[in-house]
Amino acid sequence: MRRLLAVLAALILLAGCSGNGETEAPSEYFMYYLSLEANKVVENAYEPEASSGDEMIQEFVDRLNETPEGEDYQRLMPKDVKIDSYSLEDSTLILTIGGGYEQMERPREVLVRVGLVRAFTQISGVDRVQIVTENGELKDSAGNVIGAMTRESFVENAGSEINNYQYTTLTLYFANETGDKLVPETRSVYYSTSVPLERVVVEQLVKGPAEEGHYAVLPSDTNILSVTTSENIAYVNFDNTFMNGTMSVVQEIPIYALVNSITTNCPVQRVQFSIDGESDVTFRESMKLNQFYERDLSYLEENSE
């Protein structure tokens, strides 16, 4: 039986990674459409005829260019917008889309991007998707080139609507090679305004760095219980994964990676941490979590801007 699930423009990664870094084929595939209200992406279980590689990419292109038969959803892209051609370069699938792609209203265009990225990154060998139009590389409303997108370009958010969905560029702080200083990294993400930006920042830190020479400051399995703000103070509540994770960094680096990242991107001046709701806890040797931490850029590596 075909299964229709409403999913939003920022959901978790379905395909895992194998030991050699290549994307594994998922056990189940999905095709992506737009809801009749045009306010969210919907996924429908799909069984491809092709097995892998270029044939599967072509099959997905053909299917996304078609008008779906279902009555509960509509075509992902407007009927006059189609994928004209594609090329695969170093795990980046470049889609050339014509028919007035850039004339779509921004909320619809964002959801189209989500559906395209989620559809094609299911295919083994496709890790990123880049969109090119008749005017060249796709740009955001500020004129910045968007570039190649992964599933992680879209922040998970259950229950959101596109009118609350927006794009932002974050400055995040990760560890240097020796683990005793912080280095900044710029990252652009889409997120819903129903999700606190402070939580988005913490989630991105947990995902780890994307740039060479930058190192994680938090274990990848760190569980965020809650992130709330009040009177310019952010309260970040982890479970014990935050305490038990072993990272090759000095004790101050995880704390100030969080504090500096949150205070740089959010209207927050101080940060307090807790573990399972308790702040009377010491992180590592001497970092007391029951105090308020403020931004401290002295931990930045000297050659970092």
Q: pLDDT for 267-305, tens place per residue?
A: 999 999 999 888 889 998 899 998 999 999 999 988 765
List the beta bridge partners of residue 238: 224, 275
Residues 148 and 218 in one domain: no
Residues 150 and 8 in one domain: yes
Among all chains, which residue has been given the structure tokens 């779509």?
Answer: 104
Q: What is the DSSP letter of 253?
A: H
- Locate 12 and state its tokens: 């978790």
**234 lies in a domain?**
yes
Whether 207 has a pLDDT exceeding 80, the answer reads: yes
Query: What is the number of domains present in the chain?
Result: 2
What residues make up the domain containing 119?
4-154
d(CA 59, CA 146): 26
pLDDT mean over 106-117: 84
Long-range contacts of 286-294 (CB under 8 A, 24+ apart): 286/251, 287/251, 287/252, 287/255, 292/233, 293/255, 293/256, 293/259, 294/259, 294/263, 294/269, 294/270
Phi, psi of 225 (to 5 degrees): -80, -40
Whether 51 has a pLDDT exceeding 90, the answer reads: no
Q: Is 217 helix (H, G, I), strand (E, B) or coil?
A: coil
Identify whether the C-beta of residue 46 lies closer than 8 Å to the C-beta of residue 82.
no
Residues 132 and 80 in one domain: yes
Identify whether the C-beta of residue 276 lies closer than 8 Å to the C-beta of residue 225.
yes
Residues 140 and 176 in one domain: no
- Locate 120 and state its tokens: 């094609």
Whether 103 has a pLDDT exceeding 90, the answer reads: no
pLDDT mean over 216-239: 90
Residues 132 and 200 in one domain: no
Residues 231 and 139 in one domain: no
Q: Where is the domain boundary, 154, 189, 205?
A: 154
For 43, the enclosing helix (H) or strand (E) is strand 41-46
Write down the pTM of the prediction. Answer: 0.55
d(CA 40, CA 32): 10
Residues 200 and 78 in one domain: no
Predicted local distance difference test score (pLDDT) of residue 107 = 67
For β-strands 128-133 and 92-98, DSSP reports them as parallel
Q: What percent of the chain has pLDDT over 70?
A: 84
Identify whether the C-beta of residue 119 lies closer than 8 Å to the C-beta of residue 109.
no
Residues 96 and 150 in one domain: yes
